[in-house]
Every structure is written in structure tokens, then in C-alpha cells.
């Protein structure tokens, strides 16, 4: 089973690259990103049960943030990965991937709810930027799950709620850098900022 979380070639040692790969998969499945491997993690890795973490109590009762009159949003976590897929999607059809192996996606996971009277178009009404170290901006793509989690779309009918996935393509070397990140979401004159102090920080609620 190849998960594409290890950068470079395997060298038979449990070095820095391996620890980074372990932290990345731990973030994906909702474990504390220690970089260490225990029996439970091995069972999930080789038992074919690699799934995003189930909803926690905070996700079940999220702290929504208002973004203009268009939407309510909440973010639960983020991680770096070569690609992101819909929770129940066919990997070949419901995958968004980095354009080449020199880059990686920074992925934000949460919920979005349409508060307006019209269909909410995430591409038209909302925009996002992720900034590294206060200097380098990378445009984000915002999508929501549709068809019971089998694919991604960019619209929500009034009062509908869905999983929100935000991603940006960034240089792969930044996934291991220590500089701060900032996610900014905008809708009209409204703006939300989510400061991210370190790559292994788990985002809870809205900033």
C-alpha cells in the first residue's frame, strides 16, 4: 500500500523524513501528530482503514463564524498532503491533487452553511488566500462535498450545510518549514482570519 506521504526515497531508517510522513498521516486521521508509530497506528495503516477522524464533540456543536451575509463557516483542522479526496468518493473522480511532485496541498477541513436566500456559489461569493510568513500569498480553492460525500461541488442551495474543503498548492519544502501561516477568507466586505502558528497545529473553531 503506497500512501505518498514520504518525500524522497525510503532508506531503511526512521529519520526526519519518516517522522514527517508519520505526522502527516496522523494529522489526516485526527491523531496527535507525535511522529511516533504505535500498534494502533500500524493497525490503521495496514488494515485498510485510513479515514479522516470522526466528528468530535466540538465538530458536532461547531462554533460558527459569519462571513458576510453569504455563509457560516467553521474550520476543524488542517494538514499537508499530495491530494485531498471527498470522504466517500472514488479516488479517481473525487480527488484534487498538486500539479507536480515539487508542490503539495495545504488542506483545511470544516463546514459551511448557506445563510442566504439564493444558491451560494463558493467560487463567486467566497475567496481565500493562505499566506506564509507574512510575505507569500497562495490562492485557495473552496469546494463543498455533494451527493452524500461522493464528490466535490461549488454550490449550496439555501439553508444547506456541507463539509467544506479549502486547499492551496504550495512548495513542498514549506510543509516542513517553521514559519507561520495565515488563512484569510473573504466575502464582500467581510473577512475572517485564521492564524496558524505551526504546521502541526490543529485548528479549532474560527478566528
* Alpha-carbon 154 to chain mean position: 16
Residue 155 is predicted with a pLDDT of 96
Residue 205 is predicted with a pLDDT of 30
Domains identified in the chain and CATH numbers = 1-51 (no CATH), 55-196 (2.60.40.1240)
How many other C-beta atoms are found inside a 10 Å radius of the C-beta of residue 121? 13
The mean pLDDT of 186-199, rounded to a whole number, is 82
pLDDT in tens, 143-183: 999 998 889 999 999 999 999 999 999 999 888 776 788 99
Residue 93 — very low, low, confident or very high, per pLDDT cuts 50/70/90? low
More confident residue, 123 or 24: 123
> Which is nearest to 120 in space by CA: 79, 77, 67?
67
Strand partners, 109: 77, 165
| CB-based burial, 180-204: b 16+ in 10 Å, e otherwise | ebbbbbbbeeeebebebeebbeebe
Return d(Cα 194, Cα 151) in angstroms, integer: 26
Q: Is the pLDDT of residue 40 over 90?
A: no
Round the average pLDDT of the chain to a whole number and report it: 79
Among the ranges given (22-36, 64-78, 82-96), the one the predictor scored with the smallest mean pLDDT: 22-36
pLDDT in tens, 94-129: 789 999 999 999 999 999 999 989 999 999 999 999
Q: Is the pLDDT of residue 49 over 70?
A: no
Residue 1 is predicted with a pLDDT of 42
Q: What are phi and psi of 60, to 5 degrees?
A: -70, -30
Q: Is 126 exposed, middle or buried (0-12, 13-18, 19+ CB in 10 A)?
A: buried
DSSP string, 32-87: ---S---HHHHHHHHTT---PPPP-HHHHS---EEETTTEEEEEEEEEEESEEE-T
Amino acid at each position: 500500500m503506497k500512501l505518498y506521504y514520504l518525500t524522497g526515497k525510503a532508506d531503511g531508517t526512521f529519520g526526519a523524513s519518516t517522522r514527517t510522513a508519520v505526522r502527516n498521516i496522523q494529522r489526516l486521521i485526527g491523531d496527535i501528530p507525535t511522529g511516533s508509530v504505535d500498534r494502533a497506528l500500524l493497525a490503521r495503516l495496514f488494515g485498510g482503514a485510513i479515514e479522516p477522524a470522526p466528528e468530535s464533540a466540538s465538530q458536532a456543536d461547531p462554533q460558527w463564524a459569519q462571513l458576510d451575509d453569504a455563509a457560516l463557516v467553521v474550520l476543524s483542522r488542517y494538514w499537508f498532503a499530495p491530494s485531498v479526496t471527498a470522504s466517500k468518493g472514488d479516488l479517481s473522480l473525487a480527488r484534487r491533487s498538486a500539479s507536480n511532485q515539487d508542490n503539495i496541498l495545504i488542506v483545511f477541513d470544516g463546514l459551511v452553511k448557506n445563510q442566504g436566500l439564493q444558491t451560494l456559489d463558493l467560487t463567486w461569493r467566497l475567496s481565500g488566500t493562505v499566506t506564509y510568513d507574512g510575505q507569500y500569498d497562495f490562492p485557495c480553492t473552496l469546494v463543498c462535498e455533494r451527493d452524500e460525500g461522493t464528490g466535490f461541488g461549488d454550490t449550496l442551495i439555501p439553508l444547506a450545510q456541507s463539509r467544506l474543503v479549502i486547499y492551496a498548492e504550495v512548495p513542498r519544502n514549506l510543509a516542513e518549514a517553521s514559519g507561520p501561516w495565515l488563512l484569510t477568507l473573504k466575502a464582500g466586505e467581510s473577512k475572517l482570519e485564521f492564524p496558524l502558528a505551526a504546521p502541526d497545529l490543529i485548528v479549532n473553531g474560527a478566528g
